[in-house]
Amino acid sequence: MSSVSFDFNALAPEIEVRVEALLAQMTLEEKVGQLFQANLRWRDDLDDWIRQGHVGSLLSLNGAEQINRFQRLAVEESRLGIPLIIGFDVIHGFRTIFPIPVAEACTWDPALVEQAARVAAVEACVEGIDWIFAPMVDIARDPRWGRIAEGAGEDVFLGSAMAQARVRGFQSANLPGGRRIVACPKHYAAYGAAEAGKDYNTVDVSERSLRDTYLPPFKAAFDAGAATVMSAFNEIAGVPASANAFLLKTILRETWNWDGVVLSDFDALGELLHHGFAADHREAALRGFLAGVDMDMMGNAYPFHLANLVREGLVEEAQIDGAVRRVLRLKFALGLFEQPYTDPALAAQVQFTEEHRALALEVAQKSMVLLKNEGNLLPLGAGLKTIALIGPLADDHHNPLGCWHGRGRDADVESVLDGLRAVLPEETILLHVPGCAIEGDAAAHADADFDAAVSAALVADVAVLVLGEAEMQSGEAHSRAHLDLPGRQQELLEAVAATGKPVVVVLMAGRPLVIPWMVEHVPAILMAWHGGIRSGQAIADILFGAVNPSGRLVVSFPRSEGQIPVYYGRKSTGRPADSEGVIQFDRRHRSVYLDEASTPQFPFGYGLSYTDFSYSDLQVETPEVTLDGGVVVSAEVANTGGCAGVETVQCYVRDLVGNVTRPVKELKGFQRIALEAGERRRVRFEIPVRSLGFHNLEMRYIVEPGDFRVWIGPNAAEGLQGEFVIKTP
């Protein structure tokens, strides 16, 4: 697969000439029309609006034939024949559904994630989609927030790497039929910091946190060539993001010198009324446009009020022209004027191919994280006579698709039951019992068959329970206050575990769950997430050892909801939990809980293998560096177990003293390495000193000279430690 991306920033000079020539012919209403995106539910007379040139973009259409019909209205029946740009939420695959993005990120393999994004672009473009509303690059540290499923987790460095990989994949050159796709990173900005994990909720973060934590993945996406961005629903410190001039002008246009298209999220301008930031849609149009939103998605602000605001003198037509130029440049760069239509026959040729399905299997295998394997229960032996497969997700052909599953179909999905049947010998007896439903309380699901589940477990050599969330229990508008197993699944688990038989839990979910009882009482736990169409085969391959699990967590698992947010890159505080230097009274006078540990259940970067890895001989090869230099650090990593495996070696740094406080650790490098049993390798990291900075008291990005600590290890909680010093020249 090609790794070359189309460069929307390297526009041919003639495009500017064509843009200006077209702009000169447009009426004010036609200009405003280019700044409006609708879907089919917006108005019954949508066709007429398109014929009049009053709609510039459509979203969420269904198939090439429908898209071609609307393109003909724009190209052949409007005065200027300006094509529409067609957008769609392609989050983790289009027809071939990959694991949800937080699971994809657990591969720690940006090149693989880029390949998956390219497959999504290939399959989407042949239906006439030009604009993918992804990647979601929000840093998310609260698993109550359902949209944690759509991003790359809690870390800035890894999140930025995944943002770039997905942009490159979506914007791949040489797509079928000569088509092109543009990515749209979202949600700009800090949506992942919503209070209490409630979707659409208020965000109140400092400017420094905004600049150091929530904005870098967007900048990384733009550096990779992303030509559009979607503004967020949330407010930040009292100003909604979709009318926030600091975000949309000061940062985007002035600081980053970015000249792409800003699209509002779905009716985000209309929601300014509900925020109490605008009295009506007219004021919402005024505030949103002047703040920097180019295109109004599914709102009643721009199409009804923006032209009048120009006539009233509140908006200059030159400002309208600037936004329209950005939209027209994008349409020319996409080649829509030359090729507005799509061949409907292409989809059957390039969608859901064996190559795509094989890649979906590889991503699923590498995304799954082995959380526990007491007594090396896994991989399961080939000599098992009877296996009890229990749980509401064991033979599920829908929920593994996960949230935002595009054109994915239930019939495409391999369930765990399918996967086990494919690998087990005929003589092995496989007893399948659902046990209970995914959701609902005891009264609603009195028909739960715990007795059948227990009976199956009692006669089996091992019980495999497939538990977790339904796909609609995570994603947008699906926040949860309680992160335990939904419905009666915990009762089912405890009943089966009480049999004393070996128990393996396969956990499917769109977020980290709170599972302390499971961790204490179940010997083997595999986090399978919502793993897409090849979930069943991937799970079977891991359970029986055809694949050695290599996924590593990109978000910490809390022990209880009361710990949230719990993440590795926290601040030390003046009374750190692990410090011996606190002198007042006793341990209670530190930053700890009385009734819960301060550490997560499973830390960022964590994941087990069927082999063992050891770390030794840390060498800081550059104990003293200057501001324009680089830190070089290395360690020996050895496979000390009995089989080949893949280790994700992680490098963390801490700035010990700053003019503003710094996190206790920050990821600054990672490498996936494959080692045969007994093999060892020196893993080397080269860290540019420039990457070790932060925004100071004056909000300038600086790197301060001083003492630093560095770790190389398997996760954020473990590792070999060294030191280095940054000195002024």
Mean pLDDT, range 624-652, rounded to an integer: 97
* Amino acid, single-letter form, for residue 653: V
Pick the closest to residue 599 from 440, 717, 488 (CA basis): 717
CA 635 centroid distance within chain:
30
Question: Dihedral sign, CA of 670, 676, 678, 679?
Answer: negative
In this predicted model, what pLDDT tens digit does every residue of 61-73 receive, in sequence order? 999 999 999 999 9
User: DSSP alpha helices (H): ranges in 415-476?
Assistant: 416-423, 450-459
On average, the pLDDT of the chain sits at 96
Q: Taking a C-beta distance cutoff of 8 angstroms, is the pair 117, 164 a contact?
A: no
Show the CA angle centred on residue 525, arms to residues 646 and 455, nearest 5°.
140
How does pLDDT run across 416-452, given as a tens digit for each residue? 999 999 999 999 999 999 999 998 765 555 568 999 9
Q: How far is CA 589 from CA 186, 566, 569, 594, 598, in A?
A: 41, 19, 22, 10, 13
Other beta carbons less than 10 A from residue 430's beta carbon? 16
Closest CA to 621 of 656, 651, 649: 651
Distances in Å between the Cα of 597 and the Cα atoms of 406, 591, 601 are 40, 11, 9
Mean pLDDT of 29-45: 96
Mean pLDDT on 562-568: 97
Cβ proximity of 675 and 649 under 8 Å:
no
Phi, psi of 156 (to 5 degrees): -70, -45
How many C-alpha atoms does 611 have within 13 Å on its Cβ side?
A: 22
480: pLDDT strictly greater than 80: yes
Domain 368-543 has CATH 1.20.1270.10: no
Helix (H) or strand (E) holding 358: helix 354-367
- Given this model, what pLDDT does residue 440 score? 76
φ, ψ at 478 (rounded to 5°):
-130, 60
Residue environment code for 308-323, b if the CB has 16+ CB neighbours within 10 A, otherwise e: ebbeeeebeeeebbeb
Computed on alpha carbons and rounded to an integer, the radius of gyration of the chain in Å comes to: 26
Helices (H), 381-508: 416-423, 450-459, 489-497
* Residue 185 to residue 136: CA distance in whole angstroms: 6
Closest Cα partner for 11 from 266, 403, 334?
A: 334
Q: How far is CA 457 from CA 45, 363, 382, 437, 499, in A?
A: 60, 31, 18, 18, 7
pLDDT at 504: 98
Helix axes 354-367, 110-125, angle to 10 degrees: 140
Catalytic residues: 265
Which residues are within 8 A (CB) of 11 and not within 5 positions of it... i.e. 6 or more apart?
329, 332, 333
Question: Left, alpha or beta for 578 (phi > 0: left; psi -120 to 50: alpha)?
Answer: alpha
Residue ranges of the domains in the chain? 28-346, 368-543, 613-727
Average pLDDT of span 394-414: 98
pLDDT at position 610, please? 98
**For the stretch 136-149, what's the b/e string if a residue is b when 16 or more beta carbons lie within 10 angstroms of its beta carbon?**
bbbbbbbbbbbbbb
Q: CA 450, 453, 459, 460 torsion: positive or negative?
A: negative
Residue 646: left if φ>0, alpha if ψ -120 to 50, beta else—which one?
Answer: beta
CB 301 within 8 A of CB 284: yes
Q: What percentage of the chain reaches a pLDDT higher than 70?
A: 98
Report the distance separating Cα 361 and Cα 539, nearest Å: 10
- Please report the pLDDT score of residue 2 as a whole number: 43
Give the Cα separation of 408 and 530 in Å (integer).
Answer: 13
Q: Is the pLDDT of residue 585 over 70?
A: no
Q: How far apart are CA 592 and CA 566, in angstroms?
A: 12
Residue-wise pLDDT for 484-506, tens only, equals: 999 999 999 999 999 999 999 99
* pLDDT > 90 fraction of the chain, expressed in percent and rounded: 93
Average pLDDT score over residue span 120-130: 97
Looking up tokens 């059957």, which residue turns up? 348
Mean pLDDT to the nearest integer, 224-237: 97
Q: Which of 371, 400, 367 is nearest to 504 (CA)?
A: 371
* Domain 28-346 is found in CATH 3.20.20.300: yes
- Looking at residue 442, its pLDDT comes to 55
- Mean per-residue pLDDT, 316-323: 98
Q: Is the pLDDT of residue 1 over 60?
A: no
| CA 71 – CA 331 distance, rounded (Å) | 13
Task: Return the beta strands (E) in 277-399 as ranges.
Answer: 296-297, 369-373, 386-390
Q: What is the 3-state secondary structure (H, E, C) of 393-409?
A: CCCCCCHHHCCCCCCCC
User: What is the CATH number assigned to the segment(s) 613-727?
Assistant: 2.60.40.10
Which tens digits make up the pLDDT trace of 151-210?
A: 999 999 999 999 999 999 999 999 999 999 999 999 999 999 999 999 999 999 999 999
Distance CA(460)–CA(602), nearest Å, equals 30
DSSP track, 200-218? T--B---HHHIIIIISHHH
With cut-offs at 50, 70 and 90, classify the pLDDT of residue 7: confident
Residue 93: phi and psi, rounded to 5, are 115, 160
In tens, the pLDDT along 683-716 reads: 999 999 999 999 999 999 999 999 999 999 999 9
SS3 59: strand
Type and span of the H or E element at 722 = strand 718-727
User: Tell me, what's the pLDDT at 211?
Assistant: 98
Picking from 119, 41, 85, 540, the residue whose alpha carbon sits closest to that of residue 359 is: 119
* CA-wise closest residue to 234 among 188, 278, 202, 198: 202
